[in-house]
Amino acid sequence: MGGVPLRVVSYNIHTQRDDTAALAEVVRAAQPDVVIVQEGPRRFRWRRKCAALAESFGLVVAAGGLPALGNLLLTSMRVRVHATSCQRFPLTPGRHLRGAAFAECSVRGSTRFVVAGTHLSTDPAERPAQAVLFREEVEAARWPVLVGADLNEGPGGAAWRTIADGLVDTAVAADRADRLTYSCANPSRRIDALFVDPRVTVVDYDVVDTPNTRRASDHFPVLVDLLLPAAD
């Protein structure tokens, strides 16, 4: 099977309200190349907090934090980051601000790729418009895209369909769409997903359910092994 391997984790870390030592152990044990974080640091001293979180994972900050309203992209030293950007969705009165983070990356031997992360509203009236705005940025990418998201709805929802359109749902590709991601206390929904460009091969997919993941957050992490297209 040709291609360049990449291991990606998409993870809502619940604003680090839970067992942070367990959280660090979960990510370090996964040995990811990229971590797409939802509910990362976004307030006072956010740069320092993002750097400390990345260090606890054995990674570095690529993009996000406050400018992306808590969406954060972290990478290993194997990944080279070429460009970054952040997005904020329009504020609906009385609701939390939401946004997204993007990073154009490469690893040795691969074509460039874009990592994108977002966390959509809990309000079903807000999600579809946010998904459209996010999808516009995804479609503007010049390279194959990897999208990690907490969608706050399951497959079949309007926002889910918007973001998934034309992309590969890695859980479905691995025949593991029955694996639930929320909540750790009572797993009942698959609201966290990783979607990839069809040019990217899905090798393996897991929702990591261990004693540590149940202590680390209210969401389980999504762990996916991919093969990126080789550089021309």
Residue pLDDT, tens place only, 128-144: 999 999 999 999 999 99
Model confidence at 155, in pLDDT bands (50, 70, 90)? very high
Q: Is the pLDDT of residue 93 over 70?
A: no
CA gap 37, 95 in Å, rounded: 21
Question: pTM for the whole thing?
Answer: 0.97
Pair of tokens at residue 27 = 């990510």
Q: Is the pLDDT of residue 162 over 70?
A: yes
**Which residue bears the tokens 């069809």?**
198
CATH of 7-223, picked from 3.40.50.300, 3.40.920.10, 3.40.630.30, 3.60.10.10, is 3.60.10.10
Q: Is the pLDDT of residue 2 over 70?
A: yes
Q: Going edge to edge, which strands form the sheet with 222-228?
A: 60-64, 72-75, 34-38, 4-12, 222-228, 201-207
Q: Is the pLDDT of residue 1 over 70?
A: no
CA gap 180, 55 in Å, rounded: 28
Q: Is the pLDDT of residue 227 over 80?
A: yes
Q: Is the pLDDT of residue 94 over 60?
A: no
